[in-house]
Amino acid sequence: MSYFDSVVLGVVEGLTEFLPVSSTGHLTIASKALGLKIDDPAITAYTAIIQMGAIFATFLYFRKDIWLLAKEGTTGWMSSDWRRRQDFKFAWYVVAGSIPIGIVGFLSKDLITGPLRSLWVVAAALILWSGVMYVAEKRGRQSLDQQDLTLKIVLTIGLVQCLALIPGVSRSGATISAGLLQDVNRVTATRLSFFLAIPALTAAGLYELKDVDTAVVGWGQIAVGTLVSFAVAYASIAWLLRFVAKHPITVFVGYRVAAGAALLVLLAAGVVSAT
């Protein structure tokens, strides 16, 4: 992998991590376009590790919120009155909602980095999950705010987040859709999606460090890709939070379907190979 490759993949990761278009799917497509072997463990490890840049951006952007939640979540155990506070509940909802993807991701690692790393899978998931996003936006009543969240709602969102392990589904697309389908408003669902990303992507990035092959991906390329993804993701967070306040997630459906359809045509015509 060249430094040019690492910059391109860093930009793709930063742009797509928090948009409901699938960062993993786009990283898989970009890796293929750059001539990289998309099912090589070193490449799949690299794409997971540079997601840490997006997580660092989340930490920086939400640093005050994260500090408050960490303080409330730990000191809240000292008082029953404190445990009834919304910030205490939200902190532990995030922890609970992150457990399913941790378990499923660990148990299905070979499937995720093997058979699912196919452009056929990416194309199908881009198109099919778009239907879920459309239904979620149209049917969700968006009547619930953050203070209305319950453990059941967040656990359901956490379970749906596991589907994002399929390249092309989109982690944010899955979590926001799951929230909308349970009548959570779009802004709250998006904010929750950011916080659920922190433990999920941090754990995935740290776990994949063991699969780094410096003969394929050097530490310099990893550092560059992570730094680039951090810078681009920080800008993306600020933009997305403003965007979702006024626009439905269905605005991304047309792009997802078009990208998936174009990819299917290229695969069927033999222009590109699936792996």
Q: Are 7 and 107 in contact (CB under 8 A)?
A: no
Residue 13 has pLDDT above 90, yes or no: yes
The secondary structure of residue 1, as a DSSP letter, is -
What is the structure's pLDDT at 133? Answer: 96
How many angstroms from the chain centroid is the CA of residue 134? 19
> How far, in Å, are 19, 267, 269, 272 from residue 264 at the CA level?
22, 5, 8, 10
Instruction: Render pLDDT for 215-271 as a digit per residue (tens, 0 to 9).
Output: 678 889 999 999 999 999 999 988 888 888 788 999 999 999 999 999 999 999 999
Q: What is the mean pLDDT of residues 192-221?
A: 81
> How far, in Å, are 160, 234, 257, 275 from residue 118 at the CA level?
21, 29, 17, 5
What is the structure's pLDDT at 84? Answer: 65
Q: Are 204 and 17 in contact (CB under 8 A)?
A: no
Cα 17–Cα 162–Cα 145 angle in degrees, nearest 5: 75
Q: Percentage of the chain surpassing pLDDT 70?
A: 95
C-alpha–C-alpha distance, residues 40 and 46, integer Å: 10
What is the structure's pLDDT at 81? Answer: 65
Q: What is the mean pLDDT of residues 177-192?
A: 94
Q: Compute the mean pLDDT over every residue in the chain, rounded to the nearest whole number.
A: 89
Instruction: Render pLDDT for 116-165 as a digit per residue (tens, 0 to 9).
Output: 888 999 999 999 999 999 999 999 999 999 999 999 999 999 999 999 99
Q: What is the mean pLDDT of residues 99-110?
A: 88
Residue 204 has pLDDT above 90, yes or no: no
Q: Are 37 and 43 in contact (CB under 8 A)?
A: yes
Reported confidence tier of residue 110, pLDDT bands at 50, 70, 90:
confident
The backbone torsions φ and ψ at residue 95, rounded to the nearest 5 degrees and listed phi first, read -60, -50
Q: Are 160 and 178 in contact (CB under 8 A)?
A: yes
